[in-house]
Structures are given as C-alpha cells and as structure tokens.
Amino acid sequence: MTHDAVTTPAPDAPSGAAALLSAAPERAAAVRRVRELFEETFGAAPEGVFSAPGRVNIIGEHVDYQDGLCLPMAIPHRCFVAASRTDTGILRLRSAQAEGTEEIAVADLDPSAAGGWTAYVAGVVWALGDVIARTDGARGAGLDIVVDGYVPLGAGLSSSASLECAVAQAVDSLLGLGTTPLERVQASIRAETEFAGASTGGLDQSASVLCEEGHALLLDCRDVSTRPVPWDLAGQGLALLITDTRAEHSHVDGEYVARRRDSETAARLLEVPTLRDVDAAGLEDHLARIEDPVIRRRARHVITEIERVREFDRVLASGSVRENVVELGALLNASHDSLREDYEVTVPQLDVAVDAARAAGAHGARMTGGGFGGSTIALVEADAAEAVAAAIAAAFAEHGFTAPVFFLALPSAGAGIDA
C-alpha cells in the first residue's frame, strides 16, 4: 500500500445528483496551469511538461504478496510536472499544493534525511543516480521542477506513484538517460520504498507507467511481467464509477501485516512456496488441511481471487466487455464478497457503497485497494453513472456516514510527455 504524496485533496461532496461526479481537469488546461506556475516560480518557461496517472485495481486484491495476479488500470486523473535542466547540481522543487520552494543538492540526497512530498521527487533522482553518473552530460546536473497533482488525496488511487512516475519521465527526458519504461518503474518503486520510506508492491508504479488507453494491465506479481488487456469501456457505453468513501483508516498498518502473516502461515501449512502454487481445482481438499478457521478463510480468499483474475482475463479474451458484462460483473461481486467474508478487510462504508451500487443497477461492484477505508468501484452503464452515484450518496446519508466523493474513470494512458 502507498502513502499519498502531495496532490489535490478530495473536494467536498456536492449535494445535487447532477454535480456528483468529479471530473479530471481537461489535460491541455492542466498543462497550461503547471507551465504558468513554473514561469511564475523560476522566471522562464519549462523545457518540458510530463505527466503520469493514478490507478485503480479492477480485480486481484491482497494477492500481490502471494505471487498473485492483478488487473489495474490507469485513471484520467494525473500528476503534471513542469521541469527544466540546470547546471547547478541543485533540485529546486515547488508544488502547487504546498507553500514555498524547496532546494536540495543532488550530491546530498540522503534517504535518512528525506521527508514530506519532496522525498517522492528527490527519491526518483536518487534512484536514477547510477544511470545519471554513467550518462555523458548528465553528471552534475540540477533540475527545476514544479508539480501539480490531480489524483485525489487519500482515496487509495496512488497519488504518490503518479508523482514518482511523472518525475521519472521528466528526469529521463531532460537528462537524456535513455531508460526503459521498466527501469522507470523500478526507480519509482525504489523512490517510494527506500527513499520516502513508504511501502509498495510495485503495482501502482507499473500501472502508472505501462498502462495504455482503452486497456487494463495484467500484472504477474511472481515475475513482474505485464500484458495489456483490452478494456474498452467508452466505446461500449460503460464506465467505472469510483466512490471515495472518505472513511477514516484505523489500525490499517497492523491489519495489513496480520493479513500477510496469515497468508504466509496458510502457504506453510499447505507446504507450497506461495498460495499462487495451490491448484484451485482441488480447493476444498487443500483447505481441509488447515484447522484454524481464520487461516482457512484467508487462504480461500487468496486462492480464489487469483483464479478470479485468471477468469476475468479469459472472459475479456473471449469477446467485448459488453458481450460479457454479466459474467465480469459477477466476478467483481465475488471478489468483494470474498474480501468481506474471508479476508475481512472491508468496513461498513465500503459494504454500503457496494450494496447500494448493486441495488441501483451496477453490473458489479467491489472495494478496491487495501481496504479498511478507501474506495469502491462499480461497473456501470455510462448514462446511469449519476443515478448509481446518487443511490450511494443517499445510502451514506441514511447511515449517517460522511458524504462520499465520486469519480468517473475510463482506462487511460500511462506516463508520457505532454509538452
């Protein structure tokens, strides 16, 4: 799971159904805004503008640490970075969401002294240090960077990964490093885990760099291989409704550790390296070998969730989303039910959002991310999205929950050069 970097906070939830859906900004306008802030800050136009998206996981939850399969997609909400190379050896950093400008000497980059949003930026430069050192013309360079993020803060949509991956694209381009997309993924992961001191399994960064418009990304956590999977929602009148429940996360870190430990215990009892190695066809026979009912439930979720991702991929390969929307929706529903009953990582807000979406006509709905708060997704008819959102908002009001925030997402492109 990631810690969110500095980016746009979730807005107050609007009350009218017609205003429920919070849209990502028009991309050209976002590029203009970050360019103008750069010029205001540093007195000259940036050499380039770069961006990378947040992500949402369609299916494949709590399986990454058991060598499982995940199916994320990039969302339209992005982090934009305007940047120029300098010869000062200094990083001068500004965020549209924070006051002032920070300065850090590239030669003095040190994970032990890192803190705040700048750690995610400086960490990428640090992680690319070896490549910079062996690239003619890059050694000793500095960078002026302005960041403007639109990935909602605290919704579990990977604002930190979007920042890291946009910066990685900028550093590569401006310093002429010639890194591969996978190398930029790895640098972004190192920035988060080794420099900023947060935790990530790499799904977030892989999606932010490697996703393609109109596609999801099948990620194999065993060998970190990826494959684009057609997921053309817009062309078929469908959309993914994201609901940020705004539920406060409590005891999250300890619960994550406990679930991981339980799954490792299950693998040990079944005498396999990871639960990925368990044949789902003989599931009940395998589970019968686990006496502890809690460990048995944890194992059942991981094994069946990996199989659900395989089935989701098989269904998409057999035809369009529209042709298979009922079966795909059923897999989303089964994923949530497993996360609620067997893995026990949902909270009332997540369950109410999912139940209300299903009752309002969503083809399928589930929590997404680590759970204990965060967001849900619902596969909906595009022209019914506001009605489904209104039903969820009404259910939240009825339960006395904080009003949720909604985002309509279509599968978007990964990191790139905007200007």
- Farthest CA pair distance, the chain: 69
- For 377, phi then psi, to 5°, come to -125, 150
Q: Which of 64, 204, 244, 418 is catalytic?
A: 204
Other CB atoms within 10 Å distance of the CB of residue 223: 7
- Cβ–Cβ under 8 Å, residues 139 and 133: yes
Cα distance between residue 338 and residue 346, in whole Å: 10
- For 365, phi then psi, to 5°, come to -150, 150
Taking the CA atoms of residue 223, residue 210, residue 48 and residue 43 in that order, the dihedral angle to the nearest 10 degrees is -80
204 as an active site residue: the answer is yes
The number of residues in the chain equals 419
Nearest to 415 by CA among 53, 11, 24, 84: 53
What number of helices (H) and strands (E) belong to the chain? 12, 13
- Supply 258's token pair: 């406990």
Cα distance between residue 51 and residue 276, in whole Å: 34
The angle formed by the CA atoms of residues 377, 283 and 225, to the nearest 5 degrees, is 55
- Cβ–Cβ under 8 Å, residues 298 and 342: yes
Cα distance between residue 98 and residue 69, in whole Å: 37
Catalytic residues: 204
